[in-house]
Amino acid sequence: MICSFCGKEFDEQSARKACGRCSVMGGCHKVKCPHCDYEMPEEPRLVKWLRKLWNKRHDHAVR
Amino acid sequence: MSMQGMLRRFGRGRKAGTMPSAGEALGKILIVGSPNVGKSALFNRLTGQYVTVSNYPGTTVEICRGRSSILQRHFEVVDTPGIYSLCPITDEERVACRLVLTERAAAVVHVVDAKNIRRMLGLTLQLIEANLPVVLALNMADEARQLRIAIDADRLSTILGIPVVETIAISGGGMAELAAAIESVAQTKREAAGGEPVDYGAALERAVNTVAPTLGDDHGISRRTRALLLLQEDPAEASRVLGRRSPEHTDAVLQALHDARALLEHSPHYYATLALRGRSDRILDAAVCFPPRGRHSFRETLSRLCMHPLTGLPLLAAVLYFGLYVFVGKFGAGTMVDFIQETVFGRYVTPYVEQAVNALLPWPVWRDLFVGDYGIVTLGIRYAVAIVLPIVATFFIAFSILEDSGYLPRLAMLIDRVFKKIGLNGRAVIPIVLGFGCDTMATMVTRTLETKREKVIASLLLALAIPCSAQLGVIMGLLAGRPWALAVWAAFVTGVFLLTGFLAARLLPGQRPSFYMELPPLRLPRVGNVLVKTYSRMVWYFKEVLPLFILASVLIWLGKLTGVFDLAVDALKPVVGAIGLPDGAAKAFLFGFFRRDYGAAGLYELQKTAAMSGRQLVVAAITLTLFLPCIAQLLILKKERGWKMALTTSIGICVVALAVGWSANALLTVLKVTL
């Protein structure tokens, strides 16, 4: 995902490693940018599902 | 020679006799660069369809490897994860750096997006400085030409001392030239880094020269690069250097690092970033012609205007006026709250639920829990859905627009100067901005600030003078029809914020760290992004706020049953009376301790019954903004800073909030100001 603050790209799963050092342990449902520490809410399942669907259709159209 | 002749992929067009025998060592071509510059497209062009994907040992980071034949020589091509610099932060970057610095590649192809070469040339300079066999691939060259960016590749090659090739990986453009460049660097014996070295300034150069002589040879990477990595506390380089040497040698390196750091006023990363950026700019001035006018120049002008104090502050005022006052305050807290509260809840939800509960529950005590004055539906859910939700929704829309446009990092630059006066720097804008969303989460983010002094000041300011989104929205709604009242509130809260920071900065000892960041481009916000961000934030907020509002209703119900609630309200009445507020405000202050927005919503309801004058509204809004943080923030403050700090802060905040409220009331009364 792309950080809303610094504009750099990072992997959402690897960014979650920061949760282990936090007292909320990921319960805040936020993702912290490893480059600048800005926090963004994680994408809800519905959005992830729609994004996946869109990407699949887009890839299919390109082929 | 044709492209097919120069570049033969093993997957397609394979010829007998060109395959390497089993066990034959292949030269490696590493493809490196920032994310989304076309590395994978270029990798596919070089390798074809036979590609293996495996995790890098000990990590979950996937690496793609393939084979390629260039001018009768066979190479293993490795597509590395995206990196922004040789000083890694994420796991993917760490793996990419490890591959670059330890794999002894025959060629390192640095792929850059030709349109954004200014942001990416710094990594090229680092790779050259590391003494790696670098080829610079200016990818998406066609798009750069369309934007009238003219890159003189030959001039750039001469200045950098490495081959520079224009490519269009998606269509295969420039691949023959790239193959020739790879072949030429792969054949050349590695010597000293080409081009003029980067001058990091006297301080960092002295520090590098202190550390570099203590380092031995390692994979042919220059000692200068390794000294810089050690100074920037790169853990991989530290383990490589310190883990394999004798204790005497390790001590010598550690002593040199200690001596070198003592020479630096700021972090080595700060000096290195500025020097690389400065050198990149000078190189690009000599080799690249950017369009003088057009879309980019307007953006750059606007970007500069946002950061300059003379123009940035009026722009910030305009953003706050239209974004917060008009959109959140008038539309969200006015029109939308009125509709949902009066029409949806007043006409439909509340009467229907009351009827249902009355029919189902014959016991008045249990009815009160759901539909009484402080019931779960009539207070908790109504506050969350009818008052807080429309306000946070409009706030999050405004915030997402600012976020997606790239305005926030420019705001950080703008307020860096002001923040320095109060003992913080522009980096603290991240927790402060996040505080407008939720102060509790923002308090946790303060741990990312560099010094303890900064952490303490930022936590104090968050607890005292930064209202969370819902509280801010409700206050905007409270004062929406009274612009002068809003101005008085803003003046008092800003004054307390600056004065507290100023005093704390003078009382707390410690260094003032530097702030720098690479600015992402300013752009028009995309509707899809704004909607996704707003929706994500609303889901997150609602998940957090609704259970707490319901819990507060249950606790108040229990308090009413036991009489504790009335006792607490009675105890607060003289306090709110002393600052000129009606008795009803005591309940709002008590609610505020559960959550600040809960208290603000209570105040909002009080205002709707016309129980407060303009002066009283301003005094209540000021006091509640500065009042005790909610329970969650207090617990996090204790966790982050300890009980002593949490208790001192809470007592201090109560005293300051009431003292400022009392002063505001006295001042407005003496001056006979009617708002």
Contacting residues of B for A13, CB less than 8 Å apart: 60
Q: Per the CB < 8 Å rule, is A14 touching B60?
A: yes
- CA distance linking residue B561 with residue B487, whole number of Å: 41
Lowest mean pLDDT: which of B156-170, B252-266, B385-399? Answer: B252-266
Average per-residue pLDDT for chain B:
83
Across B141-249, the runs of DSSP E, i.e. the strands, are 150-151, 164-166
pLDDT at residue number B9: 47
Token pair for B92: 């993917």
Whether residue A8 lies within 8 A of chain B, CB to CB, comes out as yes
- CA distance linking residue A42 with residue A48, whole number of Å: 10
B67 - beta bridge partners?
A: B76
Q: Residue B157: which pLDDT band, with cuts at 50, 70 and 90?
A: very high
Q: Residue B636: which pLDDT band, with cuts at 50, 70 and 90?
A: confident
The continuous run of DSSP H or E covering B135 comes out as strand B134-139
Give yes or no for residue B99 having a pLDDT over 70. Answer: yes
In angstroms, what separates the C-alpha of B519 from chain A's closest C-alpha?
Answer: 7
| DSSP structure string for B539-581 | HHHHHHHHHHHHHHHHHHHHHHHHTHHHHHHHHHHHHHHHTT-
Determine contact, residues B110/B84, Cβ cutoff 8 Å: no
Q: Which residues of B561-573 are buried (b: 16+ CB within 10 A; e: fewer)?
A: eeeebeebbeebb
Q: If you average pLDDT over residues B607-633, what whole number do you get?
A: 81
Burial level of B639, CB count in 10 A (0-12/13-18/19+)? middle
pLDDT at residue number B159: 92
Per DSSP bridges, beta strands B73-79 and B107-113 are: unpaired
Chain B residue set in contact with A, beta carbons under 8 Å = 34-36, 60-61, 82, 84, 89-92, 403-404, 406, 408-409, 430, 434, 441, 444-445, 448, 517-518, 520-521, 532-533, 535-537, 539-540, 543, 636, 639
- CA distance linking residue B6 with residue B177, whole number of Å: 9
Could you read off the pLDDT of B554-582 as tens digits, one per residue? 888 898 889 898 898 899 889 889 988 88
Whether residue A18 lies within 8 A of chain B, CB to CB, comes out as no
- CA distance linking residue B597 with residue B471, whole number of Å: 4
| DSSP structure string for chain A | -B-TTT--B--HHHHGGGGGGSTTTTTT-EEE-TTT--EEEPPPHHHHHHHHHHHHHHHHHH-
Give yes or no for residue B380 having a pLDDT over 80. Answer: yes
CA–CA–CA angle B555, B557, B562 (5° rounding) = 90
Q: Residue B21: which pLDDT band, with cuts at 50, 70 and 90?
A: very low
Q: Is B371 or B13 the better-scoring residue by pLDDT?
A: B371
- How many CB atoms lie under 10 A from the CB of residue B517? 19
Q: Per the CB < 8 Å rule, is B60 touching A41?
A: no
Nearest CB partner across the interface for A5, out of B90, B409, B543: B409
Nearest CB partner across the interface for A30, out of B34, B36, B441: B441
In angstroms, what separates the C-alpha of A41 from chain B's closest C-alpha?
Answer: 6
Find the radius of gyration of the CA atoms of chain A.
Answer: 14
In angstroms, what separates the C-alpha of A18 from chain B's closest C-alpha?
Answer: 11
Q: Which of B332, B520, B502, B491 is nearest to B411 (CA)?
A: B520
pLDDT at residue number B22: 44
Q: Per the CB < 8 Å rule, is B90 touching A34?
A: yes
Q: If you average pLDDT over residues B483-487, what whole number do you get?
A: 87
Query: Which residue in chain B is spatially nearest to A30 when comparing CA positions?
Result: B540
Whether residue A24 lies within 8 A of chain B, CB to CB, comes out as yes
Q: If you average pLDDT over residues B439-445, what whole number do you get?
A: 76
pLDDT at residue number B423: 76
Contacting residues of A for B533, CB less than 8 Å apart: 4, 40-41
The continuous run of DSSP H or E covering B186 comes out as helix B175-187
Could you read off the pLDDT of B522-536 as tens digits, one per residue? 888 989 889 988 988
Q: If you average pLDDT over residues B596-610, what whole number do you get?
A: 77
Give yes or no for residue B122 having a pLDDT over 90. Answer: yes
- CA distance linking residue B152 with residue B157, whole number of Å: 9
Token pair for B144: 């750069």
pLDDT at residue number A56: 77
pLDDT at residue number B16: 36
Token pair for B476: 């905007």
Q: Per the CB < 8 Å rule, is A4 touching B403?
A: yes
pLDDT at residue number B15: 39
Query: Which residue in chain A is spatially nearest to B35 when comparing CA positions?
Result: A9
Q: Which of B116, B124, B35, B156 is nearest to B520 (CA)?
A: B116
pLDDT at residue number B510: 67
Nearest CB partner across the interface for B89, out of A5, A24, A34: A34
Give the total residue count for chain A: 63
Q: If you average pLDDT over residues B299-310, what whole number do you get?
A: 89
Which residues are within 8 A (CB) of B613 and not within 5 positions of it... i.e. 6 or more apart? B674
pLDDT at residue number B60: 66
Q: Per the CB < 8 Å rule, is B441 touching A39?
A: yes
Give yes or no for residue A15 having a pLDDT over 50. Answer: yes
- CA distance linking residue B103 with residue B89, whole number of Å: 20
How many Cβ pairs within 8 Å bridge chains A and B?
A: 80
Contacting residues of A for B518, CB less than 8 Å apart: 6
Q: What separation in angstroms does the CA of B113 have from each of B38, B91, B283, B316, B520?
A: 8, 23, 16, 32, 14
Q: Which residues of B278-299 are buried (b: 16+ CB within 10 A; e: fewer)?
A: ebbeebbeebbebeeeeebeee
Which amino acid, B320?
L
Q: Alpha-carbon torsion A38, A41, A47, A48, what sign?
A: positive
Q: Is B511 or B288 the better-scoring residue by pLDDT?
A: B288
Which amino acid, B57?
P
Q: Per the CB < 8 Å rule, is B521 touching A7?
A: yes
- CA distance linking residue B230 with residue B235, whole number of Å: 8
B353-357 long-range contacts, CB within 8 A, separation 24+: B353/B377, B353/B378, B354/B378
Q: Which of B374, B28, B206, B596 is nearest to B365 (CA)?
A: B374
In angstroms, what separates the C-alpha of A29 from chain B's closest C-alpha?
Answer: 7
Contacting residues of B for A10, CB less than 8 Å apart: 90, 92
Contacting residues of A for B537, CB less than 8 Å apart: 41
Could you read off the pLDDT of A24-60 as tens digits, one per residue? 666 677 888 888 878 888 888 888 888 888 877 766 6
pLDDT at residue number B619: 92
Contacting residues of B for A26, CB less than 8 Å apart: none
Nearest CB partner across the interface for A5, out of B408, B532, B536: B408
Q: If you average pLDDT over residues B489-494, what whole number do you get?
A: 92
Q: Is B107 or B12 the better-scoring residue by pLDDT?
A: B107
Token pair for B212: 């570099």
Whether residue A40 lies within 8 A of chain B, CB to CB, comes out as yes
Asked if ipTM goes beyond 0.85, one says no
Contacting residues of A for B532, CB less than 8 Å apart: 43, 47
Give yes or no for residue B548 having a pLDDT over 90. Answer: no
Token pair for B405: 């446009």
- CA distance linking residue B565 with residue B549, whole number of Å: 16
